[in-house]
Structure 1
């Protein structure tokens, strides 16, 4: 009888947690360019896992409104100001957390109920189509198949910070993220997260944790890039803390965390249907990765030409595509495994088929060439195919999302596809039969940026990141944020730092 009661109580507890979880569609469902193939398993049959973390600035609840920002979502003000892709390797030996600056200008996915063809800031994707639109925009941009999303709002950040007992962070100088100014119309404004933090290392909880994660103007160069670095520092510290305390193996602590997480997060419907057991399984898989095998990285970026006084953020190529390709190919960002390249490198491809096609057979092949990589590649490969006798080859200038090289062909035209494969040195894995295809379509992908022989010019990627990429290692406990000291009020006082031992008192900022 006691066992029945315990089992019944456990069932009710788990059901209560499952009922707490809010779910939504994983995809917006209408943009074919956002549809990418699932990740392929490795030699052991294991598959990588990609989870998009979304931080919403929505203020559509009293709790969120109380914590700062405009207290209205009239007109749709929710933006995805934090977007991070968590990648767990197929063998679960390493992981990465990749951020994209919120002001990066991209082609948003065409999402259900929203305007099509939007070329704007990536954080607007949440406004235009919910979290499923954020997922589709990432897939369209990167060619990476995303398995799940997890979205958290202001109140959720506060609750989660308290549930894990706070997170240790560091600032090199005293920091205050609060600015008062009067605009040209004489209207007084308050700006900033309201963070007040003395220099040094200490643990932050609750509202202060939210302020740390929201602080933008007071870090580094005063832009959103500094905020991304502060978020990475926080995440790395949290990972080390949870592992050192054994949070996921401590039943009382795990129960507290699970209860808070199910109330604080919104997830995709497949993850919601897996319930708290599925969410804990994901957490356990990530927790199994050693901190020194976790890398947080910001996608390479640069400022574009000023538009109406604002400087958009653009992705720096080809480095951004190299990182996207590494994630798609499950190549680790770190070099801390003794056999990192040996265990994760792409297997040696099977020999390319040698097809002896006649000039007449080549001339009969109807093939379009699309470009999903660096400028000019579509025309280069089209010209090469024509020089090899494929005189019907035509360049297709349609937009194609970043993707690996692939050759799609009608099922009945396998011989023609193999003739093109032989001419270009394509690997067998690039060939995709389609019952709906009317002719051959070659997409020159991000894994083929030069040359006309794919197999000889597309070397296997090695562990590591492109030179100059901004990253942090999860085991580095010395990370400390630099405060932006270059901004001053008219009377010479610094805006984002202070001197002395008494921290300034500021109201919680609204914006």
Structure 2
């Protein structure tokens, strides 16, 4: 998948053993020759890409880095806008106990924006090319801080791109067809990748962290080694010289530096030679690294910590909500509360695309199951939530909200109260045909729903002359002072909180009547939410230190 024979030389493509976002590839027998061939975005530039993502997770998930309080690093933090799309979901919402989950999108960019990145990345023919988001991982911290779920999206996933508007006013129109997900970064920056995730998953994303190449080699060495395991002797090298070069004996080895980079970029030699195996190896490495930090606190040298901190901060771009060292530190403290045994690494369930050869698309049903579990704060490990403490006890929240562990939570302003239904103006838009247009819109449906709303007291409801296309009924509002009224409307209709979205492209409050409400007095309720990630997501528990990579036939020694 992603070879130049499929998409052409200028396409965002997979290198067979280059570091990528963990997406699957076509079977080695079908794509090996093309996938490792020379061409754009090949070779050394992929070595560090996923390691950068690993670093971001490390900084967040371990909380071992007290060095984040070095105030002089504040001036080095680079920021970019959180969301460049029109669909603003309004951030994660608190649960009944006043506790708020966190969703953080971790991105690895292959940008060559300075000499250091060019030297590390190589591939001179792509120095002036647009950056690609070749690593995309959504980290979900539960509202009660009992568990972390991570979902990787294959970088060759084909999706519909949303409209993205850059700060300078340049508009990237919504795509009319499928586009490879890693192209989102070139449509204005990380804020467009965030917008694409929200459009696809309906998961509100609170923050992003994007990492480039700089400083990664130093950090890989400073970690001091991470245990990994292979079932047989492995050497990732084909007869014609392709592969990462990783060579390890059977059993457990502690790797660091260049060997760690080789492990993370290995495709040929692991499992069936596809990116699915590479993703599994990367997840194993991340979990093992988190265990090592928790167990041994390897980063105890202040000089080393300072050096690592400077390299990490200079290599990161974050959203404005994480633009201070103390905010990053507070976030790491929150994530450290989760034991490794409640960290679950997964890959978005996928299927090979029938519309774009060699690419993948979200697996119908099961990908949405994973997204829904994240939206509804259901742990992917199937263990269920802990019993949360009431908000009055000082439950943690987002950086900038209640204080981190060990300090009292400041008093919070009372939530805005909704107006009486008779004072809430609602435009009702017919969107009953669904997004794929497979069914015609139900004639006169807007007027029928208006009558239902009037009967519920929403006497200012009126049919909108514009139409829409939605699979599920959704309430959208244009300004923050309308949030409480929009939520009250959704509650009156029995809609979940996830059906309420802040959006720039409308005026006032608009009820989009989706395909789930073609008839009757209320939308068709969704089926019960799953309680555990499907096997197709390949969940890996953070405490699993027995996992050992299978070796691809022909790559042993």
TM-score (norm 2): 0.66
Measure the CA separation in 1 of the matches of 2:541 and 2:67: 40
Deviates more, 1:145-154 or 1:60-69: 60-69
Measure the CA separation in 2 of the matches of 1:136 and 1:429: 16
- Where does residue 290 of structure 2 map in the other structure? 239
Q: Which of 75, 82, 86 lines up with 1:32 in the alignment? A: 86
Distance 1:160 1:38, change over 3 A: same
1:464 aligns with 2:525: no
Measure the CA separation in 2 of the matches of 1:453 and 1:293: 41
Q: Is the 8 A contact 1:88 1:286 kept in 2?
A: yes
1:209 aligns with 2:279: no
Residue pairs, 1:435-446, within 5 angstroms: 437=507, 440-442=510-512, 444=514
Q: Is the 8 A contact 2:214 2:311 kept in 1?
A: no
Residue pairs, 1:118-197, within 5 angstroms: 118=175, 119-179=178-238, 191-197=242-248
Residue aligned with 1:442, SS: strand
Structure 1 position 209, deviation (Å): 1.7
Deviates more, 1:425-434 or 1:317-326: 425-434
Distance 1:440 1:88, change over 3 A: closer
Measure the CA separation in 2 of the matches of 1:167 and 1:249: 16
Measure the CA separation in 2 of the matches of 1:83 and 1:169: 23
Measure the CA separation in 2 of the matches of 1:395 and 1:483: 60
Q: Which of 4, 14, 17 lines up with 2:73 in the alignment? A: 17
- Where does residue 117 of structure 1 map in the other structure? 174
Distance 1:367 1:404, change over 3 A: closer
Measure the CA separation in 2 of the matches of 1:92 and 1:408: 30
Q: Which of 455, 475, 478 lines up with 1:406 in the alignment? A: 475
Distance 1:371 1:176, change over 3 A: farther
Residue pairs, 1:295-310, within 5 angstroms: 295-305=344-354, 307=356, 310=357
1:78 aligns with 2:131: yes
- The runs of 5 or more residues in structure 1 that have no matched partner are 1-9, 182-189, 345-354, 358-364, 486-493, 500-511
Residue aligned with 1:86, SS: strand
Q: Is the 8 A contact 1:372 1:443 kept in 2?
A: no
Structure 1 position 295, deviation (Å): 0.6
1:474 aligns with 2:542: yes
Measure the CA separation in 2 of the matches of 1:86 and 1:12: 20
Structure 1 position 317, deviation (Å): 1.8
- Cα deviations by residue, 1:437-494 (Å, 9 ceiling, x for unpaired): 478422549xx79996768833663542235432111111112222333xxxxxxxx3
Q: Which of 249, 256, 271 lines up with 1:220 in the alignment? A: 271
- Where does residue 230 of structure 1 map in the other structure? 281
Distance 1:389 1:481, change over 3 A: same
1:367 aligns with 2:428: yes
- Cα deviations by residue, 1:151-197 (Å, 9 ceiling, x for unpaired): 2233443232223222222222333334465xxxxxxxx64434333
Measure the CA separation in 2 of the matches of 1:415 and 1:81: 40
Q: Is the 8 A contact 2:474 2:500 kept in 1?
A: no
Q: Is the 8 A contact 1:297 1:469 kept in 2?
A: yes
Distance 1:68 1:375, change over 3 A: closer
Measure the CA separation in 2 of the matches of 1:123 and 1:433: 25
Residue aligned with 2:70, SS: helix
- Where does residue 336 of structure 2 map in the other structure? 287
Measure the CA separation in 2 of the matches of 1:117 and 1:90: 33
Measure the CA separation in 1 of the matches of 2:486 and 2:71: 56
Measure the CA separation in 2 of the matches of 1:467 and 1:449: 31
- Cα deviations by residue, 1:422-444 (Å, 9 ceiling, x for unpaired): 6x544689678999647842254
Structure 1 position 240, deviation (Å): 0.9
Number of positions where the alignment pairs a residue of Structure 1 with one of Structure 2: 442
Q: Is the 8 A contact 1:109 1:136 kept in 2?
A: yes
Measure the CA separation in 2 of the matches of 1:403 and 1:430: 8
- Cα deviations by residue, 1:56-81 (Å, 9 ceiling, x for unpaired): 23345554445455134444253222
- Where does residue 506 of structure 1 map in the other structure? none
TM-score (norm 1): 0.71
Q: Which of 305, 311, 321 lines up with 1:270 in the alignment? A: 321
Distance 1:427 1:150, change over 3 A: closer
Distance 1:14 1:468, change over 3 A: closer
Residue pairs, 1:28-107, within 5 angstroms: 29=84, 31-33=85-87, 35-67=88-120, 69-107=122-160
Distance 1:240 1:179, change over 3 A: same
Residue aligned with 2:187, SS: helix
What RMSD over aligned residues (CA atoms) do the two structures have, in Å? Answer: 4.5
Measure the CA separation in 1 of the matches of 2:485 and 2:320: 42
Structure 1 position 232, deviation (Å): 0.8
Measure the CA separation in 2 of the matches of 1:55 and 1:306: 27
Structure 1 position 395, deviation (Å): 11
Measure the CA separation in 2 of the matches of 1:440 and 1:470: 39
Measure the CA separation in 2 of the matches of 1:479 and 1:133: 36
> Larger radius of gyration, structure 1 or 2?
1
- Where does residue 368 of structure 2 map in the other structure? 321
Q: Is the 8 A contact 1:370 1:395 kept in 2?
A: no
- The runs of 5 or more residues in structure 2 that have no matched partner are 1-65, 390-419, 453-461
Measure the CA separation in 2 of the matches of 1:438 and 1:269: 27
- Where does residue 396 of structure 2 map in the other structure? none
Residue aligned with 1:482, SS: coil
Deviates more, 1:81-90 or 1:158-167: 158-167
